[in-house]
Structure 1
Amino acid sequence: MSINLQKVIIAVCAAATVSAGFAARTEGAKLHRFSTTIEKERPQLNEETKRLIASYRRDPSEANRSALRKQVGINYDKVLDRKKAKLEELKRTARHASKIQEMQEIVDEMVQNREARIDQSMRRFSDPRFRPGARYADGGYLPVLGASWNVSIAYTPVTNEDYAQFLKATGRKAPKDWDNGAMPAGKGRHPVVNVSYDDASAYCQWLSLQDRKAVYRLPTEEEWEFAAGHMPKDADFNCGERNGTSPVDAHAATSGACGAIDMWGNCWEWTSSSVEVSKAVAHGKTVMAVKGGSWRSPRTSCRTERKGEGRESSFAFSDVGFRVVREG
């Protein structure tokens, strides 16, 4: 096997949804205070899966694709079986029903989305951008493997420092937690929050005008999920542990499947996908999906696969920021 092919396999393994994404092992991972169901160990891709990935990369035939997909399914089901076993253990030993409910939600989601999760992994495997160095940032943006070929995502959420440049150039109104238009002291590297979906979209349009060679926009929910991948079991991030945001690189050892950081916790992130809600809830308002959880979220709410979380697009929230994708 060539050295380049071995490097590609390493990149594939890091990005695969069912292999728990890409993250450095963090022994001191801060689990949400109400959570005892998060396993710290991270499963390794076995040799058979690596062999099938190599075969598929050499010859992307239907036979090789089917063999790889079957193995990915086997790996997924092993993880699911461990979760089910943990659920049964909690039913016997847990003192609080909330712990059982937490694991039940994880198991239910894995069962419901099995085929979609496996398909996501396969789309990453077949992405032509799988190559050595594919996870290195180009101008602060990383390829979103599995999405359209020209889509990349920002390494971090937009920070207060970034947003201040936008405000200076456009004269747009500052977030409500800024004092007389000045960013909060000492929080330049924190994600900007208290910005509406409309504010975030305006920021993207401003970036597009600066570049003129690419289009900048908010990610769709699917693109965000491809970028994040499955949340690593030992992921370390800001949730349920402090009253407010932290610097975007405070937990840089934990990264998403694409290599971006601060994907989980700290602040929810706007997407361009709408959320279906009843008319009684929406009152004619547009509700947009947000992803990743925040500093005030339970750990399970931060999981990539969590669906249905949304905010009204015209409102701003103290726990919602955004991240930009570049197309082109």
Structure 2
Amino acid sequence: MGENPYERDRSNPYYKLPGMAERITRPDHPATVSWNDAQEFIAALNKREGGTRYRLPTEAEWEYAARAGTSTRYSFGDDERQLDRYAWHGGDFQTGGHHPVGTKQPNPWGLHDVHGNVWEWVQDWYDADYYARSPAVDPQGPQRGTRRVVRGGTWHATATIWRTAFRRDYEPDYRGISIGLRLVRTVSSASIPINLKKEFIMTQAVVVIGPGSIGQAIARRVGAGKHVLLADLRQENADAAPRRHSSCRL
């Protein structure tokens, strides 16, 4: 915290391409970091705030929120021709880069950039066969591994990898120009506004608190009293507590 993530060395040469640094280090763009960097940031944020409320989402939590109640290839349906409305994608390394957060259409639950722009680290180790044997409800990921999962696709990818279900893996210390993060924050049921209490009974609430988005409540039946907030992390707010926006009815 208090450090620009782009002061750290990159794991590939693309950051040094002509114009790349200028294009991707603007304050309203996503910060791109390694999984280890993300854990370091989370530890510092938790220390400053007190407790252990902030963390990366599990892969299952990420996909649940990204799908937003849908079962189609994308959160907006199956028509890939609509992808331009929802995702930054298909850019080249000579002129392209990631883009300001929240400038494309959100998914049905108000989350921006779940398709494209930058990959997002999740907490889980990667195992190609894990979901063939995982628990059916709220899987927490493999107990061990050597590489971590990223989700969502990126600005320079080729066709099909922006699908909601697509997953891939990177080494935890990989720090490129196209992997960022989305934080969750655990809060107690006592902090849920009284007018929303009925809607949160026996649910886990995921509420958008990132920039450029309208906060909406997302419920999942995993047990009472455990509530999680999702946030987009931008360079400009990496040194400040995420903002919570208003919630709407489920």
TM-score (norm 1): 0.41
Partner SS state of residue 310, structure 1: strand
- Residue 232 (structure 1) aligned to one of 76, 80, 83: 76
In the alignment, the residues of structure 2 paired with residue 248 and residue 304 of structure 1 have an alpha-carbon distance, to the nearest angstrom, of 18
Gaps of 5+ in 2: 130-143, 188-250
* Pair 1:291 & 2:124 matched: no
CA pair 273-211 structure 1, distance change in 2 beyond 3 A: same
Q: Equivalent residues in 2 for 1:12-23 (5 A)?
A: none
Contact 1:285 1:312 in 2 (8 A): no
Match of 1:268 in 2: 119
The structure with the largest helix share of the pair is 1
CA pair 172-321 structure 1, distance change in 2 beyond 3 A: closer
Match of 1:310 in 2: 169
Match of 1:190 in 2: 29
Match of 1:167 in 2: 3
How many residues are matched? Answer: 149
Contact 2:125 2:145 in 1 (8 A): no
In the alignment, the residues of structure 2 paired with residue 262 and residue 285 of structure 1 have an alpha-carbon distance, to the nearest angstrom, of 27
Contact 2:123 2:148 in 1 (8 A): yes
In the alignment, the residues of structure 2 paired with residue 325 and residue 301 of structure 1 have an alpha-carbon distance, to the nearest angstrom, of 24
CA pair 323-175 structure 1, distance change in 2 beyond 3 A: farther
CA pair 272-167 structure 1, distance change in 2 beyond 3 A: same
Contact 1:245 1:266 in 2 (8 A): yes
**Bigger radius of gyration:** 1
CA pair 172-300 structure 1, distance change in 2 beyond 3 A: closer
In the alignment, the residues of structure 2 paired with residue 318 and residue 293 of structure 1 have an alpha-carbon distance, to the nearest angstrom, of 13
Gaps of 5+ in 1: 1-164, 279-283
In the alignment, the residues of structure 2 paired with residue 261 and residue 323 of structure 1 have an alpha-carbon distance, to the nearest angstrom, of 11
Partner SS state of residue 198, structure 1: helix
CA pair 246-175 structure 1, distance change in 2 beyond 3 A: farther
TM-score (norm 2): 0.52
In the alignment, the residues of structure 1 paired with residue 6 and residue 178 of structure 2 have an alpha-carbon distance, to the nearest angstrom, of 20
CA pair 202-316 structure 1, distance change in 2 beyond 3 A: same
Match of 2:46 in 1: 208
The code of the aligned residue for 1:272 comes to Q
Match of 2:103 in 1: 250
**Regions of 4+ moved over 6 Å:** none
* Deviation readout 1:277-314 (Å, 9 max, x if unpaired): 69xxxxx972111000001113421111113x110112
Deviation at 1:266, TM superposition (A): 0.8
In the alignment, the residues of structure 2 paired with residue 172 and residue 189 of structure 1 have an alpha-carbon distance, to the nearest angstrom, of 14
CA pair 257-288 structure 1, distance change in 2 beyond 3 A: farther
The structure with the largest strand share of the pair is 2
